[in-house]
Amino acid sequence: MLMILALVAAIVVIGWFMGVSRALVLALPAMLLLVPIGFHLFLPPGHALRLMVGGSLLGWLWLGAGAAVVLAYGLGLRWLKSRAPEVPTTATATATTADKAPQSGPFSEEELERYARHIILREIGGPGQLKLKGARVLVVGAGGLGSPALMYLAAAGVGHIGIIDDDKVSLSNLQRQILHASERVGMAKVESARRAIAAINPHVEVIPFRQRLSRENADQLLAGFDLVLDGSDNFKTRYLVNEVCVKHGLPLVAAAISQWEGQISLYDPANGTPCYACIFPREPAEGLAPTCAEAGVIGALPGVVGSMMAVEAIKHITGAGQPLKGEMLIYDALYGESRKMKLSRRADCAVCGGDDSGEKPVMPVT
Report pLDDT for 357.
45
Report pLDDT for 290.
72
pLDDT in tens, 136-161: 999 999 999 999 999 999 999 999 99
Reply yes or no on whether the pLDDT at 81 is more than 60. no
Mean pLDDT lowest among 20-34, 103-117, 292-306? 20-34
Name the residue among 116, 216, 231, 113 with its Cα closest to residue 167: 231
pLDDT in tens, 162-185: 999 999 999 999 999 999 999 999
Report pLDDT for 107.
87
Helices of type H across the chain: 2-18, 22-42, 48-52, 57-83, 90-97, 109-114, 116-119, 125-134, 146-156, 189-200, 218-222, 235-248, 276-279, 292-295, 301-318
Q: What share of the chain has pLDDT > 70, as a percent?
A: 68
Q: Are 209 and 220 in contact (CB under 8 A)?
A: no
Name the residue among 150, 192, 153 with its Cα closest to residue 174: 192
State pTM to two decimals.
Answer: 0.69
Cβ-proximal residues to 268 (8 Å cutoff; 6+ apart), any chain: 251, 252, 325
Ranges 13-22, 88-97, 201-210, most confident = 201-210
Cβ-proximal residues to 35 (8 Å cutoff; 6+ apart), any chain: 4, 53
Mean pLDDT of the chain: 82
According to DSSP, residue 99 is labeled T
Q: Which residues pair with 136 in a beta bridge?
A: 160
How would you classify residue 298: left for phi > 0, otherwise alpha for psi between -120 and 50, otherwise beta?
Answer: beta
Q: Are 217 and 234 in contact (CB under 8 A)?
A: no
Q: Are 225 and 164 in contact (CB under 8 A)?
A: no
Report pLDDT for 242.
96
Q: Which residues pair with 265 in a beta bridge?
A: 254, 328
Mean pLDDT of 120-140: 95
- 106-364, CATH topology level: Rossmann fold (3.40.50)
Domain residue spans in the chain? Answer: 2-83, 106-364
Report pLDDT for 106.
79
**Cα separation, 32 vs 134, whole angstroms:** 66
